[in-house]
Structure 1
């Protein structure tokens, strides 16, 4: 069977999603990519490694195996745009800099893309939905953390330099406001790092679709500037000297999420 995702079931009411960490390609996508895209520059590089503490803390973790160049798991299956202005869709057509992703005449066919939707996108979202349902059934609530990263400079998508920690709660709709406040406080106490809430990145499809505070599911997206833990240019090396203090902030953030849930839902 084709492995389209990795999943670990934890013991806390916390699920961490990593939809853009995958690097596998289908034959059609691999054959069609332009040369600059073959290094997969728009990947959320090293996110599973950066969050390697999550399993030991008791979180459930789901991560993609296939590249977003095949299909973007953080877009709705009807491909409706999530952001006004430059963005990428369910089946990305460009790199983040706006360059066409595929060679002329080598874009995957509609039939191939329908297969990607059924074989790659749906199992990931089935896993999210089922695990969130299990957590809510067991604990009475569920906490979803959608883990992303991006280069700190992408002029086609945003002006200037991206803050280090970009928290997204769909303008407050995907989680309780007190949780967002506590996460901002953690970021504010992290010396040497910048942060923003609902700036350029407010949360993609996963945050918007699954976050439902009225039903006791609280979702937050973190878009992390890659300059905080890696080299942003090819070959995209992981930098432990940068990653170690950043990972500590991530641990503090996730511990704050779990602590908020326990306090908020204490009986």
Structure 2
């Protein structure tokens, strides 16, 4: 284990890398002073995903985890600023608003191009350098490696998607980021969970899945976007500082965790074969 600010918090030997780019909540003082609200700046974090996937250590997986909030910089966006979902509402490399469209910065305090470049160097590049190094380390020892990008989001955000999001949202960049056999295995597992599910629906995989997924080179990438109601006691509808985030309850999360254990086990078996 390493220091919290170090993106690599566990270096394993199994051919599986878990990426957790949106679990960070730290915000440097100079940035926080310019925000409308520290709570708003952390509102869209992937709450408790690190707790949910804690079992990955038992599979000897490598874990690369964000320390800094996605408000500082979004580690799952294209560093050039190109939109991953053209024509659809989304947030940028250095978000200026929440998923619900609320401004994050006080008027005139938004980061300019020079500051965004500095954040890229300070916060974005170390995460991706760590991810690249761990993928390379494991690929040198294995014919195949699976990169599994862990995410969650509130179940109902009208600005981003209509109705309720399915509980399990598997993203494969329309089948490009991983071997079809692996995609089918994982899709079959979530289909037997008894929960709502979709493959390449609203979330097809962000920059990490699209950039690192190179199945022709033995590197297979999947994104799992979980609707929060699948693992925490989420009340649907608008949230406030008084009721969000809700606490993590391991008992409530257990059924979803069992499905995820089956998913990650399948990933390890696939890579090992």
Task: Find the counterpart in structure 2 of residue 70 from structure 1.
Answer: 72
With normalisation by structure 1, the TM-score equals 0.93
Residue in structure 1 matched with residue 27 of structure 2 by the alignment: 25
Cα distance, 1:160–1:59 mapped onto 2, change above 3 Å = same
Check conservation: 1:166, 1:199, Cα contact below 8 A. yes
Residue of structure 1 in register with 2:82 after alignment: 80
SS at match of 1:97: coil
**Aligned counterparts of 1:230 and 1:34: Cα–Cα separation in 2:** 27
| Deviation for aligned residue 1:36 | 7.4
1:113 has 2:123 as partner: no
Larger mean Cα displacement after TM superposition, 76-85 or 13-22: 76-85
8 Å Cα contact 1:169-1:203 kept in structure 2: yes
Q: Distance in 1 between matches of 2:171 and 2:233?
A: 24
> Out of 207, 213, 216, which is 1:214 matched to?
216
1:254 and 2:245 matched: no
- 1:227-266 equivalences under 5 Å are 227-232=229-234, 233-263=243-273
C-alpha distance in structure 2 between counterparts of 1:239 and 1:55, whole Å: 19
The equivalent residue for 1:100 is 103
Residues of 1 paired with 2:189 and 2:136: CA distance?
A: 28
TM-fit CA distance, 1:136? 1.0
Question: In structure 1, what is the equivalent of residue 183 of structure 2?
Answer: 180
Structure-2 residue corresponding to 1:44: 46
Structure-to-structure mapping, 1:118-157, within 5 angstroms: 118-157=121-160
Structure 1 residue aligned with 2:36: 34
The CA distance in 2 between the partners of 1:147 and 1:112, in whole Å, is 28
Q: Is the 8 A contact 2:7 2:130 kept in 1?
A: no
Q: CA deviation at 1:109?
A: 4.2
Partner SS for 2:177: coil
Aligned length: 262
Q: CA RMSD in A?
A: 1.7
Post-superposition shift, 1:219? Answer: 0.2
Give the Cα–Cα distance (whole angstroms) in 1 for the partners of residues 199 and 23 of structure 2.
Answer: 23
SS at match of 2:123: helix
Alpha-carbon distance in 1 for matches of 2:152, 2:4: 26
CA distance in 2, matches of 1:26, 1:111: 17
Structure 2 unmatched ranges of 5 or more: 235-242
The answer as to whether partners of 2:12 and 2:61 remain within 8 angstroms in 1 is yes
Shift of 1:236: 2.4
Q: State TM-score, norm by structure 2.
A: 0.91
- After superposing the two structures, state which structure 1 stretch, 206-215 or 100-109, moved more: 100-109
Which residue does 1:195 correspond to in 2?
197
Distance in 2 separating the partners of 1:30 and 1:202: 31
Distance 2:19 2:4 in 1: 20
